[in-house]
């Protein structure tokens, strides 16, 4: 974790410092070696939050885009008594979780149920195959409007774990590095919205600045909901029509089968 309490103040890790965990109040020591980013560690090297993962420079870079008062916010779980650390939690309760490593589907669902009003930002540079797969799939995107795309094959575009999310998932294909990209496709963020229907979904291409500004202004959730509603209603209508046509086809096929059997009529007694 980046912050600990030292003399009543929220302090970043520096060589030789000792402090206390803001969540469990246990002693923590500053770890400031050369191989990993500077961080605070519990004395037994066991985080009080079971969801916590070792931070990378990518985590820190993203978190630094937001006020320190919004970073590493401890929230109690009323059911388990545990405390979980939101990477970023705004003053109006919106949570952003930055995820670099693989995440267990059960943990993904648990976090979403716990935070509710949240979005994921995913380091999509962790696996080398993810960006080439996205780039290949992007050629078949259908443009709904400027910056908004419909994807007919989510399985060929994004990792399976994130396709099951119930909240927006924002993929960062640039990561924390300066990457040469002649087509400038790594620089925007790509937001996959939830509630996909029959393998189809919607993706928004947004700039980093626009995302950060929307979070700062408290407009991200509102904009996401306003944006998603008409598209999801249209997609549901398409799916309902598809189901009706399918039922009609099955009914016609069954009637044809019955006629082909030429069953004799039953006699009445």
The least confident of 93-97, 118-122, 147-151, 240-244 is: 240-244
In this prediction, residue 262 has a pLDDT band, given cuts at 50, 70 and 90, of low
Q: What mean pLDDT comes out for the span 219-238?
A: 67
pLDDT(130) > 80: yes
> Tell me, what's the pLDDT at 237?
67
Question: pLDDT above 70 covers what percent of the chain?
Answer: 80
**So what's the pLDDT on residue 44?**
67
Question: With bands split at pLDDT 50, 70 and 90, how would you rate the model's confidence at 239?
Answer: low
Cα separation of 123 and 116, whole Å? Answer: 21
Question: Who has greater pLDDT, 173 or 183?
Answer: 173
Listed as own residue / partner, the contacts of 45-51 with beta carbons closer than 8 Å and 24 or more positions apart are 47/1, 48/21, 48/23, 48/24, 48/82, 48/83, 49/23, 49/74, 49/82, 49/83, 49/84, 49/85, 50/82, 51/84, 51/85, 51/107, 51/110, 51/111
19 versus 110: which is more confidently predicted?
110
Helix (H, G, I), strand (E, B) or coil at 95: strand
CA 58/CA 121 separation, integer angstroms: 11
Mean pLDDT of the chain: 81
Has residue 119 got a pLDDT over 60?
yes
In the block, residue with structure tokens 């590493």: 72
Residue 87 to residue 97: CA distance in whole angstroms: 5
Q: What is the pLDDT of residue 45?
A: 59
Task: Specify the range with the lowest mean pLDDT, choosing from 2-16, 198-212, 237-251.
Answer: 237-251
């Amino acid at each position: 974790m980046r912050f600990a309490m030292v003399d009543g103040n929220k302090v970043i890790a520096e060589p030789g410092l000792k402090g206390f965990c803001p969540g469990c109040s246990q002693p923590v020591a500053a770890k400031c070696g050369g191989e990993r980013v500077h961080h605070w560690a519990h004395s037994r090297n066991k985080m009080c939050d079971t969801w916590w993962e070792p931070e990378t420079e990518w985590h820190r870079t993203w978190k630094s885009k937001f006020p320190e008062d919004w970073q590493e916010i401890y929230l109690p779980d009323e059911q388990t008594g545990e405390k979980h650390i939101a990477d970023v939690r705004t003053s109006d309760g919106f949570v952003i979780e930055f995820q670099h490593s693989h995440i267990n589907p059960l943990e993904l669902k648990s976090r979403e149920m716990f935070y509710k009003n949240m979005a994921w930002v995913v380091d999509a540079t962790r696996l080398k195959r993810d960006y080439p797969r996205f780039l290949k799939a992007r050629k078949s995107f259908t443009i709904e409007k400027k910056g908004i795309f419909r994807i007919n094959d989510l399985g060929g575009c994004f990792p399976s774990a994130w396709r099951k999310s119930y909240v927006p998932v924002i993929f960062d294909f640039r990561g924390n590095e300066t990457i040469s990209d002649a087509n400038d496709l790594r620089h925007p963020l790509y937001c996959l919205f939830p509630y996909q229907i029959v393998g189809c979904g919607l993706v928004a291409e947004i700039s980093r600045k626009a995302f950060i500004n929307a979070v700062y202004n408290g407009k991200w959730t509102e904009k996401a909901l306003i944006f998603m509603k008409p598209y999801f209603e249209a997609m549901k209508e398409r799916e309902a029509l598809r189901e009706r046509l399918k039922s009609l086809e099955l009914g016609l096929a069954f009637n044809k089968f019955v006629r082909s059997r030429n069953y004799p009529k039953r006699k009445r007694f």
